[in-house]
Structure 1
Amino acid sequence: MTMFPRVIAVVAASLLLGATAFAQAPATEAPAAASKAASTAKKAHKTQKAQKANSTASLECTKEADAKGLRGKERKKFRAECKAKAAQPN
């Protein structure tokens, strides 16, 4: 094989293989998506923490209402006041 066909083969191969490198899109959206996911995870953690605290207070207030034998509107009022007191910082 002479030199000219080898050069043509190398040029053709480099054009075919090099085209795939230019066809890829730049990764500019990945950092924004990662920060959004982290922000969402932080919010979810805070929400879960607040719900856990609220559910604990709610359960305690329910137990107290049961112990007092409250029913209906009195029970609802007592639980609302009890949960409000539990939500206040010490």
Structure 2
Amino acid sequence: MRRIGSTLATLAAAGLLALAVPGSALAANGFLEIGGAVYPEPSGCFEVPRLATVFNMTDIPVLIHNVPGCGGGIVQVLPPGLAVQVPGTHSVSVG
């Protein structure tokens, strides 16, 4: 009886872990356009090396950072379906 309980607890924990992990690794649906370059199903950090328009055509908000590498502070949150001009030496993170 003890073995069944232990097995069920292990299976339950594995099931919860399987459901929780994929959500953070999934890309956004749609595309991100930065200065004319299109990134389908974007995920992660993207550099904005010069003044560029960023179009967020994904299903989630995009964060605009004030330094390259998606470090530093977040200077703007770009909701889905909107565009904004972003100065150079900034970066954009998705997901």
Normalising by structure 1, report the TM-score: 0.38
Name the structure where strand makes up a greater proportion of residues.
2
Normalising by structure 2, report the TM-score: 0.36
Q: Which has the larger radius of gyration?
A: 1
Name the structure where helix makes up a greater proportion of residues.
1
Higher relative contact order (CA 8 A, sep 6+): 2
